Chain A
């Protein structure tokens, strides 16, 4: 007899085996010259699946996001939210503005398979570490320049970030209630994170091409364009000549749909995508006549604003007399799309996520226990994984410069003296946790041999 399907998949994806499995991007080296969220996220994604990521920062300054925690809440002298953005990386601090610093970066770039940067357009070229310079010493390199408006076009020199990209792309204008003057942005710098993963996707396409042909190339990754790619509003405008306005809590592509309040004061989302689901809903509500109603039977009719509105009101009344728990059991029984509105704590404690590995309780050598989000996609043979959290500024200087560039201790000391490389100053976010014995840390004081 054939094995039960879910027993088969449990074995196939067993998180306990993940560490023993191979890494798909092993041997790929990424030079991460980027900062904040957009670029670092692209590099992080590659690092989760086995790429070796070297993150370069400015000595005694570091990535601005080291200090950018929400509500000023730091954790063990680090920004707790930064660990998700930059785990599995090697942290070096090199001053690109000094000739010797530029030289070091070019040497690292020479060995890199992928280079990622997200400075204002043209800046890396002016520094002498752009694609036109790196491709001369490393023609196979995949060099990704990430920016808000792209590398060409009249706005190219405008600096930008998440918020500006959300405004410029049209994303900001579509969220909120139609009768108000408030437009809600997508929180948590979604406008950086989503384009960051999109950039990883484009880099992976280039890596596939390079594996076929040996050719490297240059990528102009444009944050606002990536956000625009998610909106059907442009096509809608092309078809109707009208802007698709804000629609509050209803999804205008599904009727009924909305986020509703339950009898016990909780919130659930409910949406009906297909005619078959609508028939199931009518049966589940014991209202079979609605499924026969000409206004509702077929999706295109049901989606007409006045019809959708009527159904949504009906649903709101239905939901407010029932508890969330009852509704979820009811949805499972009738195969309806109903979901709890989950918050930070719900997600952190969700047993499903822990079992799946999408939320991970990680034990780090330096920072000890932290709960963080797992990899974005689950792969059965080459799963992504977290290997270490972030490290203080310049923590891997010796490790990287000795192991990858073959520098000697005296040379490193000389570079430190000249300010070409360095590490942290007094500021929170840069320095190691107080309890950590940095003097005797074998990686920070790397002598040679294997580490990490």
Chain B
């Protein structure tokens, strides 16, 4: 059994006879590796994506598209402004990078809900749709006669997903209805920015609240919206009933990690920014070694003992012995331990630390002494380095999709379901690229304002 010859950290996999039950598992895993000829979980669903200048909406639609739904992206003939929201303005033939990345398995048609003459076509599509995603200001679709309360009349099974900064109900939703969505303001308002940044004694602006360097809020809202839509879809399959799903982007971070309100209630004071330290335990972070940054993270006492032994810091053991010692709020003490680890790590290369830790872990797993500890580590990689990893290549974690206009596009993909894996079938990103196909298929009326 080949698997057992790999470096194995679990003592249960190293036990005598462990190979036998694993044979079937390995056979099953082989079947996971390809989506050839497999079914799609949601290929009986039609999803309309009316998101406008809002990546949370666009990404929600992507998840449905990866699972096989027919996703029709509806945008005005001049294009969704999300097309130009791209790092440093980098674009391929006018299409920005994030938009191109999410242009998977979608149909792009040009219709504008703000124009009276296009609304009948949108209504026709909504009558057939299972899910509609929209990100206009709360009340705007309603004023156009395309809101949940009108569309549910023509399609009681419709699941209507709205994503806006403050949602579609509450006093504030009304007052701040006009505030546009952005990922950065969502990060700030949902509690994320306040927690990232250097310690108070660092110079400005390094100690200011800091942005997470990717669309952390946007993707969180998207997963929330997709979860909500799928729960509603499950209910619809049982009852035939649709409903409305409301996502507030200002909830993004805190609705995901959940800690801020409870900490505010119990601690009664906000946490300061903690630089590269951790609120939970010490050490838990990446430390600078000779050729990069290496993770030192010890949760259990035995992991901690192993790590400091290997780093030549055994003298610290007595003072920091138990988990309770290492989750202190005494920041000066934490800095002390952190600095000791920093100094020790700086002497080694990543490879040296990684080998030491791995050897120890594998042996400890095999040992009868159960307190062996598993000091595991990894190296901080840049996206370019991630792309080069044989592990992700073996897993097909990145797809190269080709399009006649946009060339070969690299896309991250995940979702390995044995019978209905997520997949990228094509990319389509030009405004109105699929007008002919969709107008014909759904019997829409062609007019001059909606060029085919």
Contact = CB atoms under 8 A, between A and B. Distances in A.
Q: Which 10 pairs show the lowest CB-CB distances between chains A and B?
A: A348-B264, A377-B228, A238-B410, A174-B213, A343-B270, A303-B89, A269-B188, A71-B329, A204-B230, A371-B265
B441 interface: no
B408 interface: yes
Q: Which of B174, B397, B410 has its CB near the most chain A CB atoms (within 10 A)? A: B397
Contacts of B414: 198, 222, 225-226, 228-229
Given A238-B410, A342-B190, A193 B256 contact: yes
Nearest to B220: A194
B216 interface: yes
B223 A253 contact: no
A276 B12 CA distance: 60
Main secondary structure of the interface of B (DSSP, over half): mixed
A9 interface: yes
A269 B381 CA distance: 29
Interface stretch (A183-191, A285-293, A391-399, A408-416): A183-191
B337 interface: no
Contacts of B42: 205, 208-209
Contact of B215 (A125, A160, A230, A304): A230
Nearest to B45: A208
Given A6-B173, A249-B205, A344 B29 contact: no
Contacts of B8: 157
26 contacts: A9-B169, A84-B259, A122-B22, A130-B21, A132-B24, A133-B21, A153-B395, A158-B7, A158-B9, A168-B386, A172-B380, A184-B275, A185-B276, A204-B231, A222-B395, A235-B101, A247-B213, A275-B81, A339-B185, A341-B193, A345-B270, A356-B169, A356-B251, A370-B265, A372-B258, A381-B241
A6 B251 contact: no
B212 A186 contact: yes
A67 interface: yes
Contacts of B285: 163, 185
Contact of A348 (B181, B228, B234, B265): B265
Contact of B235 (A173, A246, A382): A382
Contact of B234 (A133, A207, A228, A337): A207
A163 B175 CA distance: 39
Nearest to B264: A348
B269 to A, nearest CB: 6
B254 A373 contact: yes
Contacts of B165: 337, 339
B419 A170 contact: no
A257 to B, nearest CB: 5
Interface in A316-342: 331-332, 335-342
Given A183-B286, A197-B224, A335-B178, A72 B328 contact: yes
A190 B257 contact: yes
Interface in B409-432: 409-420, 422
Nearest to B398: A234
Nearest to A338: B185
A164 B264 contact: no
B442 interface: no
Interface residues on B, range: 35 or more
A161 B257 CA distance: 15
A253 B3 CA distance: 44
A193 B258 contact: yes
Nearest to A261: B208
Interface string A133-173: 10000000000000001111111111111011001111111
Interface in A54-88: 64, 67-73, 75, 80-81, 83-85
Given A205-B422, A271-B184, 17 more contacts: A81-B258, A84-B258, A120-B10, A126-B18, A187-B195, A190-B256, A236-B90, A238-B409, A240-B90, A250-B211, A253-B86, A268-B188, A298-B84, A300-B84, A348-B261, A352-B250, A372-B262
Given A158-B9, A377-B245, A344 B412 contact: no
Contacts of B169: 6, 9-10, 12-13, 356
Given A5-B142, A252-B87, A126 B300 contact: no
A344 B270 contact: yes
A163 B244 CA distance: 36
B390 A154 contact: yes
A121 B288 CA distance: 29
A228 B182 contact: no
B98 interface: yes
Given A181-B288, A271-B182, A24 B210 contact: no
A212 B85 contact: no
A282 B410 CA distance: 37
